[in-house]
Every structure is written in structure tokens, then in C-alpha cells.
Amino acid sequence: HGWPWNRLGEAADDVFANITGEKPVDLLRLAYALHQEGFHVMMYDMRNHGESASAPPVAFGQEEAKDLLGAIAYLHGRADVSPDRIGVIGFSMGANSLLYALPQTDQIKAAVAVQPTTLAVFSKKYGQELLGPLSTLILPVAEFFYQAAGGLYWSAYRPSFAAAGAGKTPILFVQGNGDPWGDVEDVAQIAEAAPNARGPLFVDSDDRFGGYQYLIDNPKVAISFFEQELPE
């Protein structure tokens, strides 16, 4: 997922998280539920996040996809892993990373993308909620410094283009309908671009984190999807 101050699987609770409106999301609960149903689970921190190394700038999934591809390559090197039953769940930037990875591999056999987002949409809505009218002044400055650090124009990050190259991989999209930072229409457009999309599954939420929490509270959604798409 895309929150640098939240260690993998831990509930973030600090001053910075509170300022930015973050809420705890315990991914280990979902991992445990999958494990209880017989799925082996590998979790990792993507670059620039959690305990993984720094590799600036953050690329909102485009470069982070390389971390996922590396994880898939590692799994394919293990004799105890069935290469035909590898599924992926990605949250937020993790979902974007998943979409950017799919055109580069046929080794992901099923995927769940929880609240992927187009950066231009997300940054505008997030800025408006956090900064109000000041966002119209601050966001262009932030984008300027981001580009100076080696990043692209924010408008260049379009996961829908990557989703169009996802091939046969079934992708279940999940999005909270009350997400003030993401956008239901944006996710619908990303899903429409994917050749083998499922959903989108729009769920009740009153903040960004409700969409994440839905899958954690309802793991059977992911379990049933993987049981259907990754038969033994």
C-alpha cells in the first residue's frame, strides 16, 4: 500500500498520520484469513515504504511494479510454489503497481486491485480536503519540485493505460463509494480498460480507508475470487 509511514501490516498511529487523515489498516488480518483458507501469503514493503530501501522519487506504481515483478520471480524460483496459482492483492499504490506489472508478465494468474487511482485525480481531491482553497496554489509547487527530483508530470501517471495491457489475468476491482480522495468514476474507467475485469465492487465507506477495511473485514470476497480463478 502507499503510506510510507505505515510499516507492513502495522496500524499507523502517529502525529503525521493524524495530520494527513490516515486511519489504521491492519493487513495482517487479511493475510491470516487467507492463510486459514489454505493460501500461502508473501507480504513485502515496496521501495520507499515501510522498511524497504529508498529509491526516490515515488512513482505511484510505475517503478514500484518492479518490486512486484521481483517478488513474482522469487516465488517462481521456489519448488514449493505452484506457478499456476499465484495471485496478488494490492492496496492503493500497491494496486497501481499491480496494474503496471501485469503488461510485463503472464505469471500473475489472478489479482485484486483495491482502490487504484489516477494521480491527477487523487492529488486534486486529496489537496482540496487537506488544504482547502490553498491547494490550487500549493499543488503546482509540489509538482514542480517533484519533477525537479526526477518525477514525471503527474498527468503522465495513468494506470488505465497499463490496465489495458493486463491480458487474460482476471482483476477484481474494489472501491469505496464515499472515498473523498479517490474517485468511483476513475476506478470504473480503469476497470473498463482492463480486458478481464471483475466488478468494480463499490462498497460503503465514508473515508479513504473504508475501502481497504472492507476487504480486511470481508476476506471471503478475496478468498472466493481466488478459489474461483486459481483452482487446484
Q: How far apart are CA 163 and CA 222, in angstroms?
A: 19
* Cβ–Cβ under 8 Å, residues 99 and 169: no
Rounded distance between C-alpha atoms, residue 60 and residue 58, angstroms: 6
- For cell 500497491, the residue is 94
Beta carbons within 10 angstroms of residue 175's beta carbon? 28
Cell numbers 493475510: residue: 31
C-alpha 207: how far from chain center: 16
Dmax over Cα atoms in the chain, in whole Å? Answer: 56
Q: What share of the chain is helix, strand, coil (3-state, %, to 5)?
A: 45, 10, 45
E strands present in 28-150? 87-91, 110-114
Would you say how long the chain is, in residues? 232
**Number of CB atoms found within 10 A of residue 119's CB:** 24
| pTM for the model | 0.91
Q: Are 190 and 119 in contact (CB under 8 A)?
A: no
- Angle of helix 220-229 relative to helix 208-217, nearest 10 degrees, comes to 70
Give pLDDT, residue 1: 43
- Give the pLDDT confidence of 109-155 residue by residue, as tens digits: 999 999 999 999 999 999 999 899 999 999 999 999 999 999 999 99
List the grid coordinates of 7.
Answer: 510499516
Take residue 128 and report the three cell numbers written for it. 482540496
Residue ranges per domain, the chain?
Answer: 27-229
* pLDDT band with cut points at 50, 70 and 90 for residue 80: very high
Alpha-carbon gap, residue 211 to 62, rounded angstroms: 22
As its CATH architecture, domain 27-229 has 3-Layer(aba) Sandwich (3.40)
pLDDT at 4: 47
Residue 144 CA to residue 93 CA, distance in Å, equals 21
Which has more pLDDT, 58 or 6? 58
Per-residue pLDDT band for 25 (boundaries 50, 70, 90) equals confident
